[in-house]
Amino acid sequence: MQPVFGIDFGTTNSALSVYRNGTVEVVAVDGNDRAGELMRSVLYFNEDNEIYAGNEAVRQYVGDGAAGRFMQSIKTFLPNTSFDSTEIFGKRYGIDDLVAIILRQIKARGEAYLGCPVESVVLGRPVVFSTDATKDAVAEQRLEKAARKAGFKNIWFQFEPVAAALAFEETLQAGQERVVFIGDFGGGTSDFSVIRVKGGAFGRSDRRSDVLSLGGVYVAGDKFDSQIMWDKVAHYFGRTARYKTLGKDDWITVPRSIIYTLCQWHRIPLLRARKTREHIRVIKSTTDDRQAIQNLENIIDDNFGFFLFQAIEGAKCKLSDQEQATISFAERDLCISEESVSWSLRPSTRTIFSRSQTVLMMWWHDPGCQQHRWIQFSSPEGPRASPVSRTCLLNDSAGRSWNRRTPLPALSMGLVPACRCLLKVLLQISTNDSYLPHITTTRTDGGCP
């Protein structure tokens, strides 16, 4: 049998595995050590029309003094039907062209490792690219087109949380059965599934009947970054500034469309549009916070949004273990030192876990699925992608009883705020007053397809 690649093209990171001779192994795609198993899903175009991907793109971008065009979170544009292409230094690239550059590099690294060409690939995809069915279909079509441009001829798709469940299945002993709830927290989407798994050789290749429920939401690590930017940093760039329009004495606030765009790192280059730049100049002429509008012009002109969001992401990651973290950043006359707290992320976690509750409810009230209740969190995007960076297993078939009103022993173990929210959800929907799942936690350290 010819080898087959498994590619997890993520919003933040991408990874590659290869299936050959009945075994699966993870292949380093951005270096020769274990750290190279994850490649940043970023691109950098310099003014000499050279293109870089992964960590090399970051190094070149920083080395060039933030010149050129740096692109991040490309996956989020796949369902965006209003975004078809972009022009970079005189050349137009479709969204599938941009994705194909990353997939082509991953494919080349894998083929170099194997020493032979590979034409077949299984691509991971989120449960929900978009809640709009038409846009969801467009996203998958664009991803398939990109894979073909990268050189693949045989292409299949697998839901990312289902793939995580199948990976967990391989850890079970022969004959051991479980019903597993998977929470896949990435950079662009948070996806959930409940699936029946069984250790050892499985008698059927079609596993669709084992998927008991699926769901997802287009809120994840990037949304956390945006929320911190809006709450704690955006006022440095005019969020609370006011200005007067020509011939009128009334104060009005800076258009939210500008600030919303600023709070999505990968969309900041859109503020370079001539009409937007002219509007910002008009605002600056009459504003009551000229320094903030100057900062806004500087982040557009000097393209330091990447570095600013790196500082925000660093604070976000610290909130996985702490209730507070400091956002520190300095550029030109701008000096930011802001405290961010975990509760500021509650709107996003509420959205994510509302969807997780829906997926659980779809399965929970099925009497045929009451024997085992396990829950596993996986983060294929790695701990940098979102505050959720642990694996959490709950098992009520281990013979240990907990009264629902008994404090959870795991709450003193430093669980991330989002995990705490889910534990509360589980308590709310539990139909058994006599049992509370036993909880253990382990770190995830990045992942494979």
**What are 372's two structure tokens?**
């085992």
Residue where a domain stops, chosen among 327, 342, 357: 342
The percent of residues above 70 in pLDDT, for the chain, comes to: 72
Of 122, 152, 182, which residue constitutes the final position of a domain?
Answer: 152
For 38-78, write each residue's pLDDT tens digit. 898 999 999 888 999 998 998 888 788 667 888 888 998 99
Compute φ and ψ for 391, nearest 5 degrees. -100, 135
Q: Do 212 and 336 fall into the same domain?
A: no
Note whether residue 314 is domain-resident: yes
pLDDT of residue 343: 59
On whether the CB atoms of residues 207 and 403 are closer than 8 A, the answer is no
Residue 33's pLDDT is what?
A: 53
Please indicate, yes or no, whether residues 91 and 34 belong to a single structural domain of this protein. yes
| Same-domain check for residues 398 and 306 | no
Residues 129 and 147 in one domain: yes
Q: Are residues 37 and 182 in the same domain?
A: no
pLDDT at 353: 65
Q: Which residues of the chain have pLDDT under 70?
A: 32-35, 65-66, 201-206, 208, 266, 341-350, 352-449
The answer to whether 125 and 160 are in contact (CB under 8 A) is yes
Would residue 165 count as lying in a domain?
A: no
Same domain (yes/no): 97, 116: yes
Q: Are residues 145 and 197 located together in one domain of the fold?
A: no
Residue 159 lies in a domain: no
Burial of 435 (0-12, 13-18, 19+ CB in 10 A): middle
| Distant-in-sequence, close-in-space partners of 407: CB < 8 Å, separation ≥ 6 | none
CATH number at residue 355: 3.30.420.40
Do 94 and 135 belong to one domain?
yes
Q: Are residues 351 and 323 in the same domain?
A: no
Return d(Cα 427, Cα 437) in angstroms, integer: 9
Which one of 299, 323, 342 terminates a domain?
A: 342
* Domain around 143: 4-152
In a domain, 449, yes or no: no
Q: For residues 293 and 320, state if they share a domain.
A: yes
The predicted pLDDT at position 342 comes to 62
Residues 227 and 363 in one domain: no
Structural domain total, the chain: 3
Domain identity same for 89 and 202: no
Q: Does 370 reside within a domain?
A: yes
* 271 in a structural domain: yes
